[in-house]
Structure 1
Amino acid sequence: MKNTPSRLVKSVALVAAVSVLAACGLPRLGPNKREIFAGSVMNEGDAFIVSVNDRVTRATSVVPALGFSNEFKNAGVLGSDVIRPGDTLGLTVWENVDDPLLGGSGTGGSGPAILEEVQVDGSGFVFVPYAGRIKAAGNTPEAVRRIITSKLSDATPDPQVEVRRVAGDGSTVSVVGGVGTQGVFAIERPTRTLSAMLARAGGISIKPEIAQITVTRGGKNGKVWFQDLYKHPELDIALRGGDRILVEEDTRAFTALGATGTQSRMPFETQTLSAVEAIAQVGGLLTTSADPTGVFIFRNEPADIANKVLGRTDLIGAQRMVYVLDLTEPNGMFMARDFAVRDDDLLYVTEAPFTQWDKTIAALTGTLGAADAVATTAGTGG
């Protein structure tokens, strides 16, 4: 008779546990496959669910189109270091006399005279002491050197003159972002193209695989992958005064959720990213809980691609698409290798059915253990 309360308590606890599990469910990572498929347009949902095959991978393989317009590519290389209004020149003058006109900075005043910044005015002229106003715009630094030398020869014997262009407001470009040295650089003979100017700025300081170069000229922008400058020589454009060059990392990213090693927003590490690479990047599938038949890519697909994937022509505007990958199929890994992940995609891996079953057993075992303790206490009290 003393066992009756114990059995009663256990029965009541079991019924209560099953009722709670049935009513509230168990903790889980997200929807299961059945629930995802229930949201299909075929089931009066709002998303098209598509199994990935060769045709789908071809239709969805869209890589960001980066490049320069013909206006950028057809601009010819600037002439040989031609000076323009707004340029800044540096002048150094050596005089072969003990008492130089320009006042050298060496011992006894016999060192060279250095004029660090001589601005070319709007009319294209510069002023040099004892040489007067000299036409610089339209000439090369070498031509200006000869003119100044000729002018100074009337005042001092055998002057030696050096003329160089430095950063200023004329034929210069600004380079910012992920480069070795940010700043304003003059367009000179060795730095008249984009790749040469990047080298002048110390090269890029970010991963080449995801580096993007943006050039702004006259209110228009062009953008290319850094590596394409060397793969496609026509993209190594000639520079123009006032160009702005920005070097930055690719900003694309995808989100990983579900039974994966990492659940977070992940940046692209390469120009193109396949589903297999995306899975590997987040640490792979969880071997203890992931369902390899339930790998999903959620995406808002442009209408032209959605129509192509679905074999239709009537869809207008972005469409909610869910692409399904089954890694257990004979060609499942190949499909995942060929399917391209795109910016803002959501990679979601469902839990295997046994995972929920294990959770149910664990929950019931824990509940029954608690019930047994209650029953023992009740029996003892009786």
Structure 2
Amino acid sequence: MGKTIARRAALLVLAGTVAACGLPRVGPNKSEIYAGSVEQQGDAFIVSINDRVTRATAVVPALGFDDAFLNAGIIGSDTISPGDVLGISIWENVDAGILTTAGAPASLSEIQVDGDGYIFIPYAGRIRAAGNSPETIRRIVTEKLASQTPDPQVMVARAAGNGTTVTLTGATGQGVFPIERPTRTLSAMLAAAGGVSVAPEIAKVRVTRGNQTGEVWFEDLFNNPALDIALRGGDRILVEADTRAYTALGATGGQSRVKFESKTLSAIEALAQVGGLQSNVADPTGVFVFRNETAEIANSVLGRSDLIGPQRMVYVLNLTEPNGMFMARDFVIRDGDTLYVTEAPYVQWTKLLSTITGSLASAGSIAALGNSVK
């Protein structure tokens, strides 16, 4: 009897010693997280996710073009721009004309429109070409020459090598591309360049025009035709993959920094991206999302109006509730979020018992070895 009591006492002492030393685990448990709440004199608001919370926090990055981009009309297929190269032919009805003789045209080839939009024609002077069509330029040249030679006949054509170009980076084909009749809009230019080189679901297209910049999701160009803006000479187009990411920690299938795989990402999709919960250790009642929330959203979530500045928020999902999976499906994960899953309470007890029994087995082996030496 005395030996049994002594063994039990030794077992309790061993258990206490092991527990005091601390067992390995993936992170804080639920009680430790709740201890950091505002209610417990901490600095984080802990909120259970419900329909109202999912609506208040469902913020997706707003991408689009402002009115300066949207209201810019499509450039006409025959509109001349700075950098264009023109070919001009002039006929005169006199034997000794100012530029040529009767029946033989004066051919002025490769006349480039300068940066200010002008060209120079002998005896006609400096003429505004940019913004005009070849027909308008023909009439202007004819009027200028008519006072110096009788009934001049003029032909104006845009030569190959359109000076109106855009710079395209990040697409399948990269380089400097002319704005031609088939490629006067953003989607048409991207298609002509071979499409995008990143997954369409996470591709963003940025257009810089002078000191203005607009950005749009690649898929939205096709879902919303109004976003398919008309291009202008000098536009710089950049196609890049979405850089948003979240961090997955705890009892999940993988612990890492994970990039978004779609424009919107729910909590259930975020868990799926890292392999879901570890079935042998995860606590489905302890799925947490840590986030720094803006004061506007924090006030809306908490039903307050006095919070100022960013607030630390901890959102809690209980997947075992009747609608827990629906809440996880509706809750939107945002850039910079930390998704953490706690271990089930029994896991620490299992580790404790395993450590104790292992220690006892080791002690027994040592005792047996001592007896054999004696």
Deviation at 1:233, TM superposition (A): 1.4
Structure 1 position 166 matched with structure 2 position 199: no
Report the AA paired with residue 41 of structure 2.
E
Deviations 1:48-107 (A, max 9, x none): 00000111011111111111111111111112232222x25498xxxxxxxxxxxxxxxx
Deviations 1:193-216 (A, max 9, x none): 111111121111211111111111
C-alpha spacing 1:135/1:319, structure 2 compared with 1 (3 Å): closer
Report the identity percentage. 64
Q: Matched residues in 2 for 1:163 and 1:80: separation?
A: 11
Aligned partner of residue 350 in structure 2, secondary structure:
helix
C-alpha spacing 1:118/1:362, structure 2 compared with 1 (3 Å): farther
C-alpha spacing 1:167/1:17, structure 2 compared with 1 (3 Å): farther
Aligned partner of residue 304 in structure 2, secondary structure:
coil
Aligned partner of residue 198 in structure 2, secondary structure:
coil
Deviations 1:131-175 (A, max 9, x none): xx998645557889999xxxxxxxxxxxxx98544364xx21111
Corresponding residue number in structure 2 for 1:193? 185
Q: Matched residues in 2 for 1:55 and 1:135: separation?
A: 61
Report the AA paired with residue 113 of structure 2.
V
Structure 1 position 121 matched with structure 2 position 114: yes
Contact 1:81–1:188 (CA<8 Å) still a contact in 2?
no
Contact 2:84–2:158 (CA<8 Å) still a contact in 1?
no
Structure-to-structure mapping, 1:127-142, within 5 angstroms = 137-138=130-131, 140=133
Q: Matched residues in 2 for 1:257 and 1:374: separation?
A: 39
Aligned partner of residue 336 in structure 2, secondary structure:
coil
Q: Matched residues in 1 for 2:341 and 2:162: separation?
A: 54
Corresponding residue number in structure 1 for 2:68? 71
Deviation at 1:365, TM superposition (A): 1.3
Deviations 1:199-242 (A, max 9, x none): 12111121111111111112111111111111111111111111
Corresponding residue number in structure 2 for 1:99? none
Deviation at 1:118, TM superposition (A): 6.8
Corresponding residue number in structure 1 for 2:253? 261
C-alpha spacing 1:57/1:71, structure 2 compared with 1 (3 Å): same
Corresponding residue number in structure 1 for 2:354? 362
How many residues in Structure 1 have an aligned counterpart in Structure 2?
Answer: 337
Contact 2:253–2:276 (CA<8 Å) still a contact in 1?
yes
* 73, 78, 82: which one aligns with 2:79: 82
Report the AA paired with residue 314 of structure 1.
D
Report the AA paired with residue 119 of structure 2.
F
* 236, 244, 248: which one aligns with 1:252: 244
C-alpha spacing 1:321/1:124, structure 2 compared with 1 (3 Å): same
Q: Matched residues in 1 for 2:363 and 2:120: separation?
A: 97
Deviation at 1:290, TM superposition (A): 0.6
Q: Matched residues in 2 for 1:137 and 1:119: separation?
A: 11
C-alpha spacing 1:364/1:282, structure 2 compared with 1 (3 Å): same
Report the AA paired with residue 25 of structure 1.
G
Deviations 1:231-281 (A, max 9, x none): 111111111111111111111111100111110011111111000110111
Q: Matched residues in 2 for 1:174 and 1:262: separation?
A: 40
C-alpha spacing 1:167/1:26, structure 2 compared with 1 (3 Å): farther
Corresponding residue number in structure 1 for 2:42? 45
Contact 1:211–1:248 (CA<8 Å) still a contact in 2?
yes
Q: Matched residues in 2 for 1:343 and 1:56: separation?
A: 18
C-alpha spacing 1:37/1:78, structure 2 compared with 1 (3 Å): same
Aligned partner of residue 242 in structure 1, secondary structure:
coil
Corresponding residue number in structure 1 for 2:281? 289
Contact 1:144–1:163 (CA<8 Å) still a contact in 2?
no
Contact 1:274–1:340 (CA<8 Å) still a contact in 2?
yes
TM-score when scaled to structure 2? 0.81
* 274, 298, 301: which one aligns with 2:293: 301
Corresponding residue number in structure 2 for 1:32? 29
C-alpha spacing 1:49/1:88, structure 2 compared with 1 (3 Å): same
Aligned partner of residue 273 in structure 1, secondary structure:
coil
Corresponding residue number in structure 1 for 2:314? 322
Aligned partner of residue 177 in structure 2, secondary structure:
strand
Contact 1:297–1:347 (CA<8 Å) still a contact in 2?
yes
Aligned partner of residue 247 in structure 1, secondary structure:
strand
Q: Matched residues in 1 for 2:263 and 2:249: separation?
A: 22
C-alpha spacing 1:313/1:189, structure 2 compared with 1 (3 Å): same
Deviation at 1:181, TM superposition (A): 0.7
Q: Matched residues in 2 for 1:288 and 1:89: separation?
A: 72
Structure number with greater CO (CA < 8 Å, separation at least 6) is 1
Structure-to-structure mapping, 1:171-182, within 5 angstroms = 171-177=164-170, 179-182=171-174
Deviations 1:301-326 (A, max 9, x none): 00000000000000001100000000
Q: Matched residues in 1 for 2:357 and 2:165: separation?
A: 75
Structure 1 position 378 matched with structure 2 position 373: no
C-alpha spacing 1:138/1:292, structure 2 compared with 1 (3 Å): closer
Deviations 1:303-351 (A, max 9, x none): 0000000000000011000000000000000000110000010000001
Report the AA paired with residue 40 of structure 1.
S
